[in-house]
Amino acid sequence: MRVLSGIQPSGALHIGNYFGALKQFIELQHSYDGLYFIANYHALTSLHDPAALRAATLEVAVSFLALGLDPEKATIFVQSDVPEVPELTWMLSCVTPVGLLERCHAYKDKVAQGLPAEHGLFAYPVLMAADILIYDSNLVPVGQDQKQHVEVTRDIALRFNNRYGEVFTIPEALILPEVAVVPGLDGRKMSKSYGNTIEIFDEPEVLRKKVMSVKTDSTPVEAPKNPETCNAFALFRLVAPPEELAEVRRLYLEGGAAYGEVKKRTAELMADYFAEAREKRKELLAHPEQVREVLAAGAARARSLARVTLDRAREACGIW
């Protein structure tokens, strides 16, 4: 079974990216044929600084490797290194109804956030469909809120197959285990667009300062508190050992939990959790040629898979 997913290079990865997706990618590589790509074509809808895009692309590749994606087990590559993808995107565009794209919530949300209503943003789901279909992907790991992306891909593939024959494998969404929303420093969902993130590779002193600033209420130490609504506890539970988590939960419910102590302990645990990855990242950044070799090898394999599918699609619709 083949699993595929991608991450946009839109800046330094934060712990919401890790616990919401990357952690699961790393686990899935042991059970599936995994393809993981850096979606730099997709990033063009919001990132318009060429130097920043190049740097962010390398940063995501380094992060993948530092956090545990193994190029011996998974195929890691950059989206733009597979030129077959944009060609397939056009072919898929020719069977995609405008109404289908108009119903996509991601487009509406991003326009509402201030991004210009450009064709690339509107047609984003077609490029995403090409990413998925060109590798004969069986499963696409997504959160429940991203399931629509896979449903759109399935709709496009079925329309193409109905018109031209059985060309594409129809993918399924692999719904990732529910991860509680990782709160940012201000209590909203952690997001680069909100500027409220804790980066995965923050040094311990920076990480501690950020965690200590996480928004909490003014409930006294001795008063009971609801752990399910506390931003500090939401971060603590991501990295705490089970026994310690149970004890702190008890203090919340019965009284005796001090926000400052919970934050302090969270910062310690989080620094330890990512310590090995921080050191690995430094090694990789010192030898970027090794990272580029991994990406080149991944792109070669991805292209070999993509070529087969694209040739099948070209023949089906009469392109020679």
Residues 104 and 58 in one domain: yes
At 126 the three-state DSSP class reads helix
Q: What is the C-alpha separation between 170 and 138, in angstroms, rounded?
A: 7
- The residue behind tokens 């709160």 is 183
At 268 the three-state DSSP class reads helix
Residues 158 and 38 in one domain: yes
Sheet holding 2-7, edge to edge: 74-78, 33-38, 2-7, 139-142, 172-175
CATH code of the domain covering residue 150: 3.40.50.620
Q: Could you give the dihedral angle defined by the CA atoms of residues 297, 304, 4 and 140, in that order, rounded to the nearest 10 degrees? A: 180
For residue 194, is it within any domain? no
Residues 127 and 235 in one domain: no
For residue 232, is it within any domain? yes
Q: Which residues pair with 37 in a beta bridge?
A: 6, 77
Please give the chain's pLDDT, 320 residues, in tens. 999 999 999 878 999 999 988 999 999 999 999 999 999 999 998 889 999 999 999 999 999 999 999 999 999 999 999 999 999 999 999 999 988 988 877 766 776 777 777 888 889 999 999 999 999 999 999 877 678 889 999 999 999 999 999 999 999 999 877 665 789 999 998 988 789 999 999 999 999 999 999 999 999 999 999 999 999 999 999 999 999 999 999 999 999 999 999 999 999 999 999 999 999 999 999 999 999 999 999 999 999 999 999 999 999 999 98
Angstrom CA distances, 303 to 83, 170, 194, stand at 8, 20, 36
- Supply the DSSP symbol for 187: S
CATH code of the domain covering residue 250: 1.10.240.10
The whole-number pLDDT of residue 146 equals: 77
Residues 33 and 163 in one domain: yes
Residues 264 and 296 in one domain: no
240-287, pLDDT tens digit by residue? Answer: 999 999 999 999 999 999 999 999 999 999 999 999 999 999 999 999
- The residue behind tokens 């040739």 is 311
- Please say whether the beta carbons of 201 and 25 come within 8 A: no
- Residue 42 tokens, joined: 């997709």
Q: What is the C-alpha separation between 141 and 94, in angstroms, rounded?
A: 26
Q: How far is CA 35 from the centre of its chain?
A: 13
- Supply the DSSP symbol for 172: E
For residue 191, is it within any domain? no
The whole-number pLDDT of residue 68 equals: 96
Residues 149 and 240 in one domain: no
The whole-number pLDDT of residue 213 equals: 97
For residue 279, is it within any domain? no
For residue 68, is it within any domain? yes
Residues 99 and 140 in one domain: yes
Residues 109 and 10 in one domain: yes
The whole-number pLDDT of residue 122 equals: 85
The whole-number pLDDT of residue 180 equals: 59
Q: How many domains does the chain have?
A: 2
Residues 55 and 177 in one domain: yes
For residue 186, is it within any domain? no
The whole-number pLDDT of residue 159 equals: 98
Q: What is the CA radius of gyration of the chain?
A: 21
The whole-number pLDDT of residue 178 equals: 62
For residue 83, is it within any domain? yes
The whole-number pLDDT of residue 107 equals: 67
For residue 23, is it within any domain? yes
Enumerate residues 6+ apart whose C-beta is below 8 A from 297: 71
Enumerate residues 6+ apart whose C-beta is below 8 A from 238: 15, 19, 182, 270
Range of the domain at 111: 2-181+288-317
Q: Helix H segments across 134-219? A: 147-164, 204-212
SS (H, E, C) 8-53: CCCCCCEHHHHHHHHHHHHHHCCCCEEEEEECHHHHCCCCCCHHHH
Residues 48 and 137 in one domain: yes
Residues 240 and 149 in one domain: no
Enumerate residues 6+ apart whose C-beta is below 8 A from 75: 33, 34, 35, 36, 298, 301, 302
- Please say whether the beta carbons of 42 and 6 come within 8 A: yes
Secondary structure element (H or E) that encloses residue 174, with its range: strand 172-175
**Catalytic residue numbers?**
110, 189, 192
32-45, pLDDT tens digit by residue? Answer: 999 999 999 999 98
Within a 10 A sphere around the Cβ of 287, how many other Cβ atoms? 10
The whole-number pLDDT of residue 310 equals: 98
- Polymer length in residues for the chain: 320
- Please say whether the beta carbons of 223 and 255 come within 8 A: yes
Residues 32 and 134 in one domain: yes
